[in-house]
Chains A and B, each alone.
Chain A
């Protein structure tokens, strides 16, 4: 179907007058369909279906037909302390990764914007965390954190700081340990985005500010930050959302343990859906996560509009 429209339409168009400027949008439709149909069928559709499932008692392998239960799943969620624990851990993890990562990446981007000698090496090495499958990142850090054969404990021992510990299974250390991995894994993207933003600031402005007697901090506030703000805001909002939704890294590192201390909302929902077969309930969890993310996106958009007013 798509194919036939795609081949006949341009012939019709070609016979018409070759006007300058933007051709009518009608002719553009057939170009959009090949991507639009899969998007609607496999992305937008399932998303709406998923929201609908949240209001049903859908379960895996059940013989009775699925029924509407209204807001029952959401009522149950309200009283599910395990879910709110995981929600709290998810927020803690997302903030714990996003904020330090942003500050480190900002410092690093400012550094790499200087004319330093081994800048290229940083660029070359930055490929590693960026390109690695998350599963491999998780495995790699498990080797680092390994209580006996890991390099971290060996370093701790070498420095005379004790015998080291089992970082990923300790109740107090597990979440900080996975947060460090999260920071490591996302550093390059954040840095590159900020570096791109920095390259938007004009050197002339910097020099003018310097002539006016502005110090490094003054120049950063007056020149660098205003230019960097839109990129910084975008990458922070996206990082927060990605982290809040993340799964693979923590699944491999701790699988939510010890005692649920690193059970992110996605891990919780995954278990609920594919281990216990509670599709409706897990979908309701997904809806709550979407609600939170929408709030964050709204903040981002508001911040962006404000930034637009200033400039």
Chain B
């Protein structure tokens, strides 16, 4: 069925409106990041900087320990992602292959954990980590992020495991391979793309996270990038717009690049998760 001409025109108009709504704040962020102070102070802001400059970026690095914060973020996010995937894969495997009370409970937990108000979790976590002297510590934050990214990692991985035909594993079992051998030598290679996608997603989750980091990380040298970004806002909410925009823009780049890479797989994972469960 082909829609009528005016209907088509209406559809394209709606699409255009959506694209504008989606893109304009981001374009504004980029534009602000490259504007010299004079243009930022102008009462009639322009879309495109007349006199684009990189000064805001330099100033941003001068004002706040951005490099340090980025290094902290990378470290925490990489460790959290790797650990999460390594420990989630066997569990996801069991959840996908066995319908036991355990896997039902795990699936239930995955759903329920999405609904926690984090305040109920963060107060006890804060007290526990304080007793372990893991407040303001990168390993402490990493531990929290591992558990925090597990539900979605499990969710994604279960979908990927289901896509691997069980017959292949049964063949390996007939050949005398044990459960773990089968998992490592047969299933894992077929899962590899899914494992990478899941790890990247867990990385972004940790890279973007703010609430736990805000509560747990006390000193600027240990804080992650999202927390350090809020320091640009100042106490009174008055901000140096140029460096603020520049730093915010830089903080987005890694997740944007990674997301562009895994977006297709992610939608696939969500699809199976949303439809099959």
Contacts and interface: CB of A to CB of B under 8 A. Distances in A.
B144 A42 contact: yes
A128 B22 contact: yes
Interface string B92-104: 0110011010100
A38 B180 CA distance: 21
Contacts of B126: 274
A10 B180 contact: yes
A47 B116 contact: yes
Nearest to A237: B115
A58 B72 CA distance: 32
B128 A46 contact: yes
Given A116-B11, A245-B118, A293-B115, A149 B241 contact: yes
Given A47-B121, A50-B121, A245-B118, A235 B179 contact: no
A35 B87 contact: yes
B124 A53 contact: yes
B19 A154 contact: no
A143 interface: yes
Interface residues of B, number: 103
Contact of A11 (B42, B178, B251, B267): B178
Interface in A2-21: 6-7, 9-11, 13-14, 18, 20
Contacts of A187: 22
Contacts, number: 300
Contacts of A273: 119, 122-123
B258 interface: yes
A71 interface: no
Contact of B237 (A111, A116, A255): A255
B97 to A, nearest CB: 7
A64 to B, nearest CB: 16
A187 B121 CA distance: 27
Interface string B107-121: 001001111111111
Interface stretch (A74-82, A131-139, A170-178): A131-139
Nearest to B21: A184
Contacts of A139: 29, 229, 232-233, 244-245, 248
B191 to A, nearest CB: 14
B67 interface: no
Contact of B256 (A108, A119, A131, A251): A131
Contact of A38 (B87, B210, B225, B267): B87
A140 B229 CA distance: 12
A130 B123 contact: no
Contact of A127 (B170, B174, B215, B256): B256
A286 interface: yes
Interface in B25-46: 25-26, 28-29, 32, 40-45
B15 interface: yes
Contacts of B19: 118, 121-122, 125
Contact of B229 (A135, A141, A290): A135
B54 interface: no
B183 interface: yes
Interface of B: 1, 3, 11-12, 14-15, 18-19, 21-26, 28-29, 32, 40-45, 47, 86-88, 90-91, 93-94, 97-98, 100, 102, 106, 109, 112-128, 143-144, 146-147, 150, 154, 170, 173-174, 176-181, 183, 204, 207-208, 210-211, 214-215, 225-226, 229-230, 232-233, 237, 239, 241, 244-245, 248-249, 251-252, 255-256, 258-260, 263, 267, 270-271, 274-275
16 contacts: A31-B91, A46-B125, A116-B11, A127-B259, A128-B26, A131-B258, A133-B229, A134-B226, A135-B210, A135-B229, A140-B25, A184-B21, A196-B274, A197-B275, A273-B119, A279-B123
Interface of A: 6-7, 9-11, 13-14, 18, 20, 22-23, 25, 27-29, 31-32, 34-36, 38-39, 42-47, 49-51, 53, 58, 107-108, 111-112, 114, 116-119, 121-136, 139-144, 146, 148-151, 154, 157, 184, 187, 192-193, 196-197, 199-200, 207, 210, 230-231, 234-235, 238, 241-242, 244-245, 247-248, 251-252, 255, 265-266, 269-270, 273-274, 279, 282-283, 285-287, 289-290, 293, 297
Given A139-B232, A207-B1, A269-B119, 10 more contacts: A13-B178, A18-B173, A34-B91, A133-B255, A139-B245, A151-B47, A184-B21, A184-B22, A242-B114, A245-B115
